[in-house]
Structure 1
Amino acid sequence: MTELSAAGSADTLRWSEEIQDITAGDLVTALSYGTPAGGAIAIPVSPLGLVDPEAGTIGVTTSLAFNGKLRNILRDPRVAMAYHTRDHGFATADGFVLVQGAADVPLKPSPKALEALQPRLTRFLGPMPTGRFWDWALGDYLDTRVVIDIDVKRVASWPDTHGAGDLTVSGAAWPKPPAPQSAPAKGSGPRLDTGKLHRQMAKLPHQLLAYRGADGHPVVLPVRVIGHDESGLHLDIPAGLLEQGGRRAGLTAHSFGPQAVGLANRICTGWLEVSEAGDTAVYAPHTAAGFAAPAVKSIQLFANGMFAKRLWRKAEREGTLAQLAELKAAAHRSA
């Protein structure tokens, strides 16, 4: 992969055509953010090719109805986006690309931004159904969307999507490995059935590990779940990218079809333990969530719409937007 360049202003990165191809063309990526306990989590998203090389930003869109991740990002805006698969997208360049930066979360949908999203939605996800029923079904899913801009601080890339080969970094220097963390008060061992979780994850081709780097930005790496026992899930990890010791981490496995239909994922939080030699890793899952959607676009859209409608009504009852606004104001005061 062509090495990136930091040409231009001192604060704005300029990246190669290969990186631009990937960030503008991948259909599904993984957005990672920190957790209050000091770990990180990675969730599959469709960023719709939101990237502005002139401004040095990438973006992702989400509904305010799905406000759980927004709480965490507002508490700590340091996030990362992992471009880890070319499946069903438009990018042609090879490589695993990790973009780290600071997220700006708007708390009010912008009609102008939503209008600008329409051609991107159609290109990546296909035409949306229309009519009175679909206007009602998808209203809270589409009309409450915001675009999160991420001011890029660092771009790291590997020559292939498995994380093999030499690491290339542009922008801020790659930090030293984070120090091991103290074990959770409730213990670091598995709290879930590792055999069942292994079977679920083994069916999903894209598997990622997320943890908090030494500078606070999440690090996302491609891994493989290769076994399990009473100690946890055994991971095949990229050579030289994880230091020994334990830390809180997120483990995600997912799959998807054309236009991101037929989504399936398992998203875990837990404890990662890396051997002294750094060549083996065991992941003890503490929580897990996920779903498998049928490979029928209309059913998936209807389910998304109903889920967003329920969550949006709940947010209105509980004053969630006011709570998010306070989180944002508190973050600005402490900055």
Structure 2
Amino acid sequence: MAITWIKLQISMFDNQKIRLIEKMPAGDTVLIIWIKLLTYAGKSNANGYIMLTDTIPLKSDQLATLFDRPIETVKMALITLEKFGMINLDDNEAIQITNWDKYQNVDRLEMAKEQNRLRQQRFRKRQRLKALPSGKEEEVLTPEKTAASSNDEHSGNGVLNKGNVRRNVTNDAGIPLGVTLSHAADIDLEKELEKDQKISRQRNTKIAYSEKQMALAQQLLKNIKLVIPNFREPNLERWANEIRLMVEGRREKRSADEILTVIQWVAGDDFWRTVIQSPASLRKNFDKLLAQMQFKKKKQSGVRKDKNACIKEWLKHESGGGGDPL
């Protein structure tokens, strides 16, 4: 089966390196990228290397796209992690998690890789058997008798010895009878096929969004580029769809005007304008952003009222207590 988990120690945040990184200005971002690198190493299952394919490593610019982070941020995180000895960068920019075998059960990962290879082999065999015409017989050597058949493969008349073969007959539906796959493996394969079909349907689903939601995505991108001029061009359709989820989400139900107000407020906040760099981060922090925006506006309103009261008090004092001298 494919790798679906990695091990993390519960004492991870007691580690001296992690504690030092946390104290850095962008420490939280570096740690998030570190965790993502660990998960990608698990997906790659290549002895700690972060791989795109079996032979091509993922590089910093590609990671920036996958992590939805600016390339400068990813490069800064990689330099920091390499400085602390948590990753290795070779001459080809390939990234490897150091001590991967120390923290992960490598033998188990290799076992899972081999099981996945065998499962794929069985799957291909099953597909070939399904492709046989209905009712057609096929002579298939059994694994147990393959070696024995090499000695007496042919009988006197030059045909295969019937004692070393099994006849495999398909039924009317084209499903082979007497297939040597185990029932459990069949169930696993059916589940995998259903999962693949579900993923395929999701990928083929058209992204639906309104012109107003696209305009909000474009406004957010415009504000981000005021802070980061070389910000990479995102997939605006996905951004607009994320805005749509904020509007149509069962629990969220944000109005377009409310979203625009928060987007514009974020652009003027010294802290949040460096944090909110996608609709996903806007959506994740929206309640917090809305609360801080309302609090600061209320605070500013109170300051203006106090200022007006001071002016009136001064005017009253200057006029000798008789009110407004004008």
- The TM-score by the shorter chain falls in which range? under 0.3
**Larger Rg: 1 or 2?**
2
Structure with the bigger percentage of strand: 1
The structure with higher relative contact order (CA 8 Å, sep 6+) is 1
What TM-score do you get using the length of structure 1 for normalisation?
Answer: 0.19
Q: Which has a greater percent of helix?
A: 2
**Taking structure 2 as the reference length, what is the TM-score of the superposition?**
0.19
